[in-house]
Amino acid sequence: MKKLSTEIEIAASPDTVWAILTDFAAYPVWNPFAVSLVGEVRIGETLEVRLQPPGGKPMTFKPTVTGLEAGSYFEWLGKLGIRGVFDGRHQFRIEPTSSGTRLTQSEEFTGILVPLLSRFLNGGTRLGFEAMNQALKERAERKSVRRE
């Protein structure tokens, strides 16, 4: 098993961050990592996600939404081929803070290919999480400033 976790503080409300995170149609406009996401935020829904890791090749996969608490938590489970080869449980957590919101994006990888892909996960995948977090922060903070 391998776990990646990134977090970022955002000077915007949790509602603003949640609205951006779940507006999949707008991902191509602002998201440098998950450049396309199609589907609905609903338990059991199959999504189509296209990732563009920094320095890597684009990849498309079809995870299933496995966890949801509107406004605060969203999770999907994806797999490469058959289950147990390379699976990823991806999570987004949104928590209120005194200055706005903390976004935590993490993924737990399991399966027989994890040791072989560990270097890629520590590199391109982590950088992709961080780039997405930063882009979401910038978008949310711009929206918050316009409302004041």
- For the cut 70, the answer to whether the pLDDT of residue 2 exceeds it is yes
Query: From the CB of residue 76, how many other CB atoms can be counted at a distance below 10 Å?
Result: 25
The dihedral region occupied by 55, where left means phi > 0, alpha psi between -120 and 50, and beta the remainder, is left
Looking at 7-16, 55-64, 67-76, 88-97, which range is the least confident one?
Answer: 55-64
Residue, of 143 and 115, whose pLDDT is higher = 143
- Structure tokens that stand for 110 in this block: 């399991």
pLDDT at position 146 is 67
Could you give the CA distance from residue 77 to residue 113 in angstroms, rounded to a whole number? 16
Residue, of 134 and 118, whose pLDDT is higher = 134
Q: What is 2-22+65-147's CATH superfamily?
A: START domain (3.30.530.20)
Could you give the CA distance from residue 124 to residue 51 in angstroms, rounded to a whole number? 11
- Structure tokens that stand for 46 in this block: 């199959």
Report the predicted TM-score, pTM, of the whole model to 2 decimal places: 0.91
State the number of CA atoms in the 13 A half-sphere of 54 facing the CB. Answer: 14
pLDDT digits (tens, 9 = 90+) for 93-115: 999 999 999 999 999 999 987 87
Please give the single-letter amino acid code of residue 7.
E
